[in-house]
Structure 1
Amino acid sequence: MDVKQLRALLAIAETGSVTRAAELLHIVQPAVSRQLRLLEEDIGTPLFERGRRGMDLTEAGHILANRARRALHELDQAKADIAPAPGIVSGTVTIGLLPSTGDLLAAALVSHLRQQYPQLTVNISVGYAGYLQQWLEDGAVDLALLYDPKPSALLEVQALLDETLYLVGLPEKNLSITGDMALHDVAELPLVLPSQPHGLRLLLDRACASADIHLNVVAETNAMNIQKNLVFGGVGYTILPGVAVFDDVAAGRLTATAISQPALRRKIVLALPLTRRSSIAVRCAVTELRALIKQKLQQGEWPGATWLVE
């Protein structure tokens, strides 16, 4: 087992594909396949289940990936701490982004950080809020965006924005981005929703329980892209924040309308671990991420969101 094999494991886990992992790592596909094969031989058990929809981690794969993520982060940080260049922001910073925000923020954030701090290495980890919170507490990521997490003595959080949740459907459903639909009407529609314990699903379930409303859930998935693909396939409607469907609505591929009575909104917070001191690199990344999110709101690229920072 070596560092290259562990990086290949995490790249495949994040992309669901050996081909896309090779592109992410900037190496040829056979090299990634070989690294995975050697790692599975060393471990003595399969680390992925290979299906038509891609590659999913097995239980053993999940265990190894979680440990590998922490180990590689510690190695990268150690290299930065041993011989930092005086007066230059260097080292490695690992940033956790939510699936609904990754497409909007990742490329711009990395570009801005590389322009400002050429000596800085930026890692982006994408995961649902529960995973990101665990990675923060375990030391696998340095900072992350979360959905209004449960109070934790291990985290420092700052609320950044409040965002509306939208009912999303195909164009012929004639949903209006400027209109709204009551939750009890939404509940009668066939819905494709995240599975529990996804934060959005928990929010929906709490709102429905308070109003004695029962949702008509026809499919569940823990992947946002599959949520949207099932809508594209005509299976039903889904519920997502505006940032997750901004491009699709603008291009006419989907339509959306806000949910009301009660209005469904959620907070996005920036979280940092309290168990370790934030490096200069982390503090620089925090500043850039906050500024980028505010900029996206001002440019109208985050519909239904309100900036909360004074």
Structure 2
Amino acid sequence: MRIRIGEEITFRKLEALLAFMESGNLAKAAEILDTSTVSVHRALHSLEEGTSCALFRHEGRNLIPTDAAHVLADTAREVLKTMADGIRATREAAGFSADHLKIGSLYSLTVQTVPKVVIGLKLRRPELQTELVLGSNADLLQKLKQGSIDAALMAVPEPDPEIESIPLFEDDIFFAAPADSPYASMPAVDLRACRDEPFVSLSEGFVTYSGFVEAFRIAEFTPNVVMKVGDIFSLMNLVGGGIGYTLLPGRVKGVYSRNVAFVPLAGEYDIKQTIAMNFLRRRERDPNLLALAAACRMAMRDADE
């Protein structure tokens, strides 16, 4: 037989009962609950209607709990604790407010951005264990939607009702050449002058690859790509080794500055990347993600100073 509880019995009213039983009077109970004495009195009276029995007796202006009230209070403590534990377990199963946070990131952001963000996050939530998952923009977006990661530090994806993005900074795209290349000393490079040069690139799915494709669309020719790789550091090694030229975001300038020159593109190639903290919109109030967002903003603010 299905047990039905009257609508007069609610968690809020049970909290009012416990506050009254523990404090001993309406005024203190109202203070504990941050409400009015009238609201507490109504809640207690409603519980009497819901249980169909007297929970209190009047002695002058005082309410005195009956044995029935003590029984209900003991049950209320168990019910509220069980429900609180259940909600916490539910949120942890869904990845909310757990003591573990999986942060997805582009490889290129591990040079400066990720270390600063993780340090800032540890200062805010020292008990939080973090795990870093690296991948392309496409990989991270898929993992984010699947719930495999909690947030992704990557380029802003195409508009998606599921995804919320907090922009962090905008990055310029540069022509990358070996340091001893003739292009290294140029004030700017027009890709049309590189039609016969070999190029190397990242694989599809990386935001830098998308910028690469867009730049050559503007230049109106298909580059001779002699090799594709799956991470930006391997790509820079290929450029530094003279295998080919490529396009790279400015955030990795300092990694191989002795071997690779970053030369601005000509003005018509105005290609930028907007890097953001991305997460599922339904988790916008998750305390761990709020702490991560604050750490991201602080890291960006420090970088601008």
* Aligned pairs, number: 216
C-alpha separation between the residues in 1 aligned to 2:229 and 2:217? 21
1:277 positional shift: 4.9
Structure 2 match to 1:71: none
Q: Displacement of 1:80 after TM fit?
A: 8.5
CA contact (8 A) 2:236 2:260 kept: no
2:156·2:278 contact (CA, 8 Å) conserved in 1?
no
The verdict on how the C-alpha distance between 1:133 and 1:187 changes in structure 2, with shifts beyond 3 A counting, is: farther
Q: Provide TM-score, normalisation by structure 1.
A: 0.62
1:103 positional shift: 2.2
Say whether 1:213 aligns with 2:221: yes
Corresponding position of 2:237: 229
Paired position in structure 2 for 1:258 = 264
Q: How do residues 35-184 of structure 1 correspond to structure 2 at under 5 angstroms?
A: 77-78=92-93, 91-173=99-181, 175=183, 179-184=187-192
Counterpart for residue 291 of structure 1? 298
d(CA) in 2 for partners of 1:177 and 1:268? Answer: 29
**What secondary structure is seen at the aligned counterpart in 2 of 1:181?**
coil
Aligned partner of 1:258: which letter? Answer: P
The aligned residue for residue 252 of structure 2 is 244
Q: Quick one: which of 184, 202, 224 aligns to 1:194? A: 202
RMSD: 2.8
Q: Which runs of 5+ in 1 are unaligned?
A: 1-73, 85-89, 300-310
Preserved contact between residue 167 and residue 259 of structure 1 (Cα < 8 Å)? yes
Q: Distance in 2 between matches of 1:112 and 1:218?
A: 41
* Matching residue of 2:193: 185
Matching residue of 1:68: none
The one-letter code matched in structure 1 to 2:263 is: T
Percent identity at matched positions? 20
Report deviation, 1:287.
Answer: 0.8
Partner of 2:288: 281
Query: Larger C-alpha radius of gyration, 1 or 2?
Result: 2
Over 3 Å counting, the alpha-carbon distance change for 1:185 and 1:137 in structure 2 is same
CA distance in 2, matches of 1:120, 1:148: 26
Deviation at residue 106 of structure 1 after TM alignment: 2.7
Q: Deviations over 1:69-108 (max 9, x none)?
A: xxxxx99934997xx8xxxxx7222222111111212333
Counterpart residue type for residue 300 of structure 2: I
1:207-245: CA deviations, max 9, x gaps?
A: 423442221212111221221121232211221111123
- Counterpart code for 1:143: A
Q: Distance in 2 between matches of 1:76 and 1:128?
A: 28
CA contact (8 A) 1:168 1:255 kept: yes
Query: In structure 2, the residue corresponding to 1:267 is in which secondary structure?
Result: strand
> What is the alpha-carbon distance in structure 2 between the residues aligned to residue 196 and residue 291 of structure 1?
32
What secondary structure is seen at the aligned counterpart in 2 of 1:144?
strand
Which residue among 197, 208, 212 is the counterpart of 1:204?
Answer: 212
Residues 220-278 of structure 1 show CA distances to partners (whole Å, capped at 9, x for unaligned) of: 112212211212322112211111232322xx232110112322222222211024454
